[in-house]
Amino acid sequence: MPASPEVTRLTDDRFASEALLAPGLVLVEFTATWCPPCRQLAPVLAGLARERAGALRVVALDVDEAPLTAARFKVLAAPTMILFRDGEPLGTLVGARSGRRLREDLDRMAA
C-alpha cells in the first residue's frame, strides 16, 4: 500500500500494541505491494481515515512483511480487511470495494 499519513503501516512486532490493544474501532487492511486491488483501495482507506478520524483508526499490514499476523488471522487473499473493536474482531471483508460500499459494510459490522 502506498504511504499515506492517514493510514498507519504496521509490522508483526507492532500489530498487537497498535491494533489489538487500541481502544475503539480499528480497521486493519492486509495488503501487498504486488496487489492491484490494494492500490485501488488505498485512496478509499485514506479518505475513510480522514472522515472518521477520532472514531476509526485505519492501519495497513503488508502480508509479505508481516506473515505471522496474516497467518494468525487466516488471511488468504489481499486485500482483506478486519474490523476490530477493543481488540475483538467484528467482521472480515475480502476484496476491494467502493468507498460507499465500504462505509456501509463497516457501519453494518460496527452496529
Annotated catalytic residue, options 25, 27, 32, 38: 38
Query: Taking Cα atoms as reference points, which of 35, 20, 32, 30 lies closest to residue 90?
Result: 20
All three cell numbers of 5, joined, read 499519513
Annotated catalytic residue, options 32, 35, 58, 61: 35
Cβ atoms of 29 and 38 within 8 Å: the answer is yes
What is the gyration radius of the CA atoms in the chain, in angstroms? 12
Is-catalytic flag, 66? no
Q: What is the DSSP letter of 82?
A: E
107: exposed, middle or buried (Cβ count in 10 Å: 0-12, 13-18, 19+): exposed
Is-catalytic flag, 69? no
Active-site amino acid positions: 35, 38
